Amino acid sequence: MTETMDKAETESWAFTDGSGGRPVTPHAAVDLLRRRIASGVLESWLAASDGRLLAVVSNTERAMVRLLDGEGDPGGHATDPGAGTESDGFVLANGQSDTYPDEDTVPLGEALRIVRHVIATGGPPTDATWTIDR
C-alpha cells in the first residue's frame, strides 16, 4: 500500500471557514467549492486532520490549486503547461486581486477534479501536471 493510500484511509478534510470544521466527502467538498465560487467567494482552504492544507483560488474560469504539507510549506501546485497567457481576477479573502500565468492555474473543472482526488486519495491524480515548489 502506498503512503498516499495510507493517508486517505486515516485523514479527513474540512474547510477552514464556512463549514463548521466538519469533515467533508470529496463530492461534498466539490459541491461546496462550486457554490462558494458562484457566490463570489474565490479563495477556499481545506485542512486535513494531519495538518496538510489544500488551497483553491479561482477567477471563476481557472483556479490555482496548491497542496501544502502544513503552514509555511511551499508545497506544490497544479499546472497547465503550454497555456500561453495570464488571467486576472483571482480574488483573495483579504480583497487582493491577483493575476497568474495560465501555466500556474488549471481550468476550473480540472481544479475540482484534482480537489476531489486529493480528498479521496491523499494526493493529486497521476495524470495531473504538478509542480513541486520546494
pTM of the model: 0.91
DSSP codes of every residue in 38-75: HTT--EEEEEETTS-EEEEEE-SSEEEEEEESSTT---
| Contact (Cβ atoms closer than 8 angstroms) between residue 117 and residue 125 | yes
Collapsing DSSP states into helix, strand and coil, what is residue 80?
coil
Partners of 56 in the β-ladder? 44, 65
Q: What are the start-end ranges of the E strands in 1-134? A: 13-15, 43-48, 53-58, 62-68, 76-78, 86-91, 97-101, 106-107, 130-132
pLDDT one-digit tens code per residue, 18-34: 667 899 999 999 999 99
pLDDT of 1: 36
* Cα 100 from Cα 134, distance rounded (Å): 19
19 close to 32: Cβ distance less than 8 angstroms: yes
- Tens digit of pLDDT for each residue in 52-65? 999 999 999 999 99
